[in-house]
Structure 1
Amino acid sequence: MASLLRPTLRTAAARALHTQTAPLPSTTTNALSLIRSQPSQYVVASLAGRKYLLTPRDLLTVPRLKDVKVGDVLKLSDIHEIGSREFTVRGNPVIPSEQVRVEATVVEHTKGRMEVIFKKKRRKGYERTVYHKQTYTRLRIGPIDIADIPSS
């Protein structure tokens, strides 16, 4: 009975076939070309003071951006990391904007749910109720364009 619970050598060998290791790229240009060849990519970018993990066609909600209108296209310049399923390139601290280009389109300006803030001071008869809705901007992330920079 105990032999049925242990994985056999055959299943361990079958698992090893699926986890092949790829050769490591020697330069950043080679690493970016390997990431470009993968079917899906992601980026870690800073926007409105926070880092977000983004993929193409994501809908991102950030605190209100005051100087943009609906339909404006924003270029994300602070990209900290780009990767795919098998490879990742991290910037030091950011990846140069010539190598990776990501754009976000402003979809709407919206408000969050109603927040109720109740203020009270003991034994003074002071009670106030403040209602508040936080404002947000929603962005649609465009395609991730990895530049094809020839190695020199």
Structure 2
Amino acid sequence: MATLQHLLRWSSPLRAVASRCIHTQPTTTAAALELIRSQPSNYVVASFVGKKYILTPRDVLTVPHLKDVQVGDVLKLDEIHELGSREYTLRGSPTIPASKVQVEATVVEHTKGSMEIKFKKKRRKGYQKTIKHKHPFTRLRIGDIVIDPAASSPSPAESS
């Protein structure tokens, strides 16, 4: 019987801690955006060149070569599927509108990958061929994640 009391004594403080850790659920999208903005670190899940990437500020993203951009150009990521922080997540259906979240990426460099070697051969024909190739890539630096830019910047009527 002493072991049962011992177990109950140690389990009761754990239940008390678990009851204190309940988060409040936001009721509107604006409230959810405000909660995510108040968190110290944010991330987005964005589609770029047909693939989804998890991105945080100051990440370097390597994508297949983009032909029409130069080093230093700023690209706007407009297909954002998910926005979140450590404790909260907001998912779009299928995307979050560009008016709510803005993410920019700066072209850092155009580069090539490692050497890939293909060897082709046909038996008993004397045919051998070696093909060497490097895939071209573009590297992007992700900028800051601006959540609901209309609410964060005061309008001229409010400042007067």
After TM superposition, the score normalised by the length of structure 1 is 0.88
Instruction: Kindly report which structure 2 residues correspond to 1:66-145, keeping only aligned pairs within 5 A, or say none.
Output: 66-145=67-146
For 1:149 and 1:73, the matched residues in 2 are separated by 20
- SS of 2:125's equivalent in the other structure is coil
Instruction: Kindly report which structure 2 residues correspond to 1:17-36, keeping only aligned pairs within 5 A, or say none.
Output: 20-36=21-37
Report the CA distance shift for 1:58/1:14 in structure 2 as closer, same or farther (over 3 A).
farther
The structure carrying a bigger strand percent of its residues is 1
For 1:15 and 1:134, the matched residues in 2 are separated by 54
- How many residue pairs are counted as aligned between the two chains? 145
For 1:49 and 1:42, the matched residues in 2 are separated by 19
For 2:31 and 2:111, the matched residues in 1 are separated by 42
Note the residue ranges of structure 1 that are not aligned, 5 or more in a row. none
Q: Are the equivalent residues in 1 in contact too, given 2:99–2:149 (CA < 8 A)?
A: no
**Residues 53-95 of structure 1, C-alpha deviation per residue, up to 9 Å, x if partnerless?**
0000001111111110000000000000000011101111110
For 1:149 and 1:70, the matched residues in 2 are separated by 29
Q: Are the equivalent residues in 2 in contact too, given 1:29–1:149 (CA < 8 A)?
A: no
- SS of 1:65's equivalent in the other structure is coil
Q: Are the equivalent residues in 1 in contact too, given 2:101–2:149 (CA < 8 A)?
A: no
Name 2:63's counterpart in structure 1.
Answer: 62
Which has more radius of gyration?
A: 2
Q: Are the equivalent residues in 1 in contact too, given 2:102–2:149 (CA < 8 A)?
A: no
Deviation, structure 1 residue 123: 1.5
Q: Amino acid of the residue matched to residue 99 of structure 2?
A: E
The structure carrying a bigger helix percent of its residues is 2
Q: Give the root-mean-square deviation of aligned CA atoms.
A: 2.0
For 2:59 and 2:13, the matched residues in 1 are separated by 38
Name 2:50's counterpart in structure 1.
Answer: 49
Which of 1, 9, 12 is matched with 2:11 structurally?
9
Q: Amino acid of the residue matched to residue 97 of structure 2?
A: P
Report the CA distance shift for 1:78/1:142 in structure 2 as closer, same or farther (over 3 A).
same
Report the CA distance shift for 1:11/1:110 in structure 2 as closer, same or farther (over 3 A).
farther
Q: Amino acid of the residue matched to residue 53 of structure 1?
A: I
